[in-house]
Each structure stands twice: as structure tokens, then as C-alpha cells.
Amino acid sequence: MVYLAADRMGCHADTIHAYARRYKSVQECIDHEREKILDIGELKLVQKVMDGDDGMIKFLLSTRGKKRGYTTGVEVTGAEGTPLQVIVVLPDNGRNDRDT
């Protein structure tokens, strides 16, 4: 968005970034425009879900539906849900305790 604005204003994007650092109102404008784009993206996602797009449905459920159990993560436990015990064996690297 900054680069498009810079092209339209006939300046370099670094100029806009400098103004954003200097003037809070410029940074707020940039942030506001980015939020608007996210809103548009969310609307498009909802449209795809409503159209029955399987890929978008899966994406929505795996990202926004985690609290309802829709996730691709795997929980690893020991037998009957007990904590998993991990034993790490380090190879002999030729050093002894005095070398450390």
C-alpha cells in the first residue's frame, strides 16, 4: 500500500515511511488502510466458504476454529495420557569432564 501511495504521490516509499515515523497521523492512516484490506480479505474468505469451497472451509476451521477442536496439531502423551518421558543420549565426542 505504501508503494502504491508513493507512486501516486510521485515520491519514494522511503519518504512515506519517514513521514510515518515523524507524524503519528500518517502511521495511523497506513494502519487503517491495512485493516481495511484485511476486512476485504475476510469478506472474500466468507464468500468462498458460503460457496462451498472445501479448501477455504478447511482453512477457516483450522485457523479460526481451533477453540472448537478444528486443528491439525497432534498432542503426544505417554500411555493412557500420562506425561511422556524423553531420554536424551548424547554420543561420546571424545572429551572427558575435565575438558569442559
Domain boundaries, the chain: 2-72
- Tell me how far apart the alpha carbons of residues 13 and 26 are, in angstroms, rounded to a whole number: 13
Residue ranges of the alpha helices (H) in the chain? Answer: 2-9, 13-22, 24-50, 54-64
Residue 92's CB is within 10 A of a number of other CB atoms, namely 6
45-51: long-range contacts, CB 8 A cutoff, minimum separation 24: none
* Lowest-confidence region among 12-16, 31-35, 48-52, 66-70: 66-70
- Tell me how far apart the alpha carbons of residues 34 and 22 are, in angstroms, rounded to a whole number: 19
Burial of 16 (0-12, 13-18, 19+ CB in 10 A): buried
* pTM over 0.85, yes/no: no
Highest mean pLDDT among 41-50, 57-66, 77-86, 90-99 belongs to 41-50
C-alpha cell at 59: 482453512
